[in-house]
């Protein structure tokens, strides 16, 4: 009886909570106010179009970069801690953040210098992303001198020699050379362009007007409007073909093309003659072998310094255009020191 009564009470409660039929639809709510484009909401692709427009500029720049030595060379495979800082894109981004000459570790999946190396790509998705990744003054590794080439500091960060070890001092003690690769590392342009950092034996050192008159140094000259697919722009070279040179940046000062060509020819021939003379002297002394490598042994500071100066000018590759007076005096004084 008790169980029956409880069951009947449960059924009664259940019948009391049963949902009835739906009522009539209520009135529609008031429409909200429409938002304004760019204020209440953002177009997800609007910032992309700031750079990725329909002008095809990005394609042109990429095309020119692909023809540059930065893109075509295979030195980016040199990804060890001592090389990756300049030979790989990832390594370069690391050293400009840390201020160190070497990366902490070897770089995995190394990339050659590319857009992300030199520009702040995809950081805030505005035109500022084309800003250069590094423009601070540069301390030369070979001497510690701080130079400021404006936007060219980006280039000078890597286009400079490491310090030979041991580094001779003018008037200093003899040094022991223990490696046939002794001397400045390749890419000595920053030292010559800034007119400092060589083994400055003797006196009479002066600089070209290029040192102070060209505000952004490397960038001003090497990234002028491209000449087809020969030079300039993001190809960054100025010489091409059989002795042709893109002189767009030169003619604002050197207004006579014929005079300019004669000047470049004379400067090139003069430095080539001095380089050959110093090369012969170094081999005569015995500090340089027939393959132009250093000879291991103990040498005077002037002998080692002359070898360094020879390679600073040789590996500048500008044929005197960067800083003819300084390059010439390095060679002349080195030759005199070996007499």
pLDDT digits (tens, 9 = 90+) for 226-238: 999 999 999 999 9
**Residue of 95, 70, 99, 301 lying closest to 200 (CA atoms):** 301
The answer to whether residues 294 and 179 touch, using CB atoms and an 8 Å cutoff, is yes
**pLDDT category, 22, cuts 50, 70, 90?**
confident
Neighbour-count burial for 107-134, b at 16+ CB within 10 Å, e otherwise? beebebbbbebbbbeeeeeeeebeeebb
What is the number of residues in the chain? 339
* Position 10 pLDDT exceeds 70: no
pTM, two decimals, is: 0.85
DSSP 8-class letter at 333:
H
Residue 45 has pLDDT above 80, yes or no: no
What average pLDDT does this structure show over 167-193?
96
Q: Tell me what pLDDT residue 104 has.
A: 97
Q: What is the dihedral of CA 209, 243, 118, 67, to 10 degrees?
A: 170
**What does the pLDDT read at residue 38?**
61
Sequence-ordered alpha helix ranges (H) in 31-83: 57-66, 69-72
Q: What pLDDT does residue 50 have?
A: 84
Average pLDDT of span 315-322:
96
Residues 56, 62, 66, 69, CA torsion sign: positive
Higher pLDDT, 11 or 242: 242
Question: How confident is the model over 46-105, as pLDDT tens digits?
Answer: 788 888 888 899 999 999 999 999 999 889 999 999 999 999 999 999 999 999 999 999
> How much is the pLDDT for 310?
98
Regarding beta strands 244-245 and 239-240, do their DSSP bridges make them parallel or antiparallel, or are they unpaired? antiparallel
């Amino acid at each position: 009886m008790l169980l029956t009564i409880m069951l009947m009470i449960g059924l009664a409660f259940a019948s009391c909570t049963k949902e009835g039929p739906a009522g009539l639809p209520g009135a529609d709510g008031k429409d909200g106010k429409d938002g304004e484009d760019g204020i209440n909401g953002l177009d997800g692709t609007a910032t992309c179009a700031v750079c990725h427009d329909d002008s095809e500029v990005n394609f042109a720049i990429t095309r020119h970069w692909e023809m540059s030595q930065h893109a075509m060379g295979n030195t980016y495979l040199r990804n060890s801690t001592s090389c990756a800082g300049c030979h790989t894109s990832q390594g370069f981004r690391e050293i400009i953040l840390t201020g160190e000459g070497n990366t902490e570790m070897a770089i995995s999946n190394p990339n050659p210098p590319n857009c992300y190396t030199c520009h702040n790509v995809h950081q805030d998705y505005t035109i500022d992303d084309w800003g250069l990744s590094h423009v601070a003054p540069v301390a030369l590794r070979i001497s510690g001198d701080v130079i400021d080439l404006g936007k060219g500091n980006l280039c000078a960060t890597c286009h400079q020699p490491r310090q030979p070890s041991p580094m001779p001092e003018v008037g200093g003690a003899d040094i022991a050379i223990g490696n046939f690769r002794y001397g400045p590392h390749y890419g000595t342009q920053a030292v010559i362009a800034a007119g400092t950092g060589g083994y400055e034996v003797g006196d009479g050192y002066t600089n070209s007007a290029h040192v102070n008159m060209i505000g952004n140094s490397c960038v001003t000259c090497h990234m002028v409007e491209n000449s087809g697919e020969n030079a300039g722009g993001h190809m960054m070279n100025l010489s091409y073909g059989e002795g042709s040179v893109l002189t767009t940046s030169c003619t604002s000062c050197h207004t006579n093309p014929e005079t300019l060509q004669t000047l470049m020819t004379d400067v090139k021939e003069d430095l080539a003659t001095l380089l050959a003379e110093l090369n012969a002297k170094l081999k005569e002394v015995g500090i340089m072998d027939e393959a132009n490598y250093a000879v291991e042994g103990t040498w005077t500071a002037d002998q080692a310094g002359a070898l360094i100066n020879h390679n600073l000018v040789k590996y500048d590759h500008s044929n005197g255009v960067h800083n003819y007076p300084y390059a010439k005096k390095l060679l002349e004084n080195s030759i005199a020191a070996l007499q």
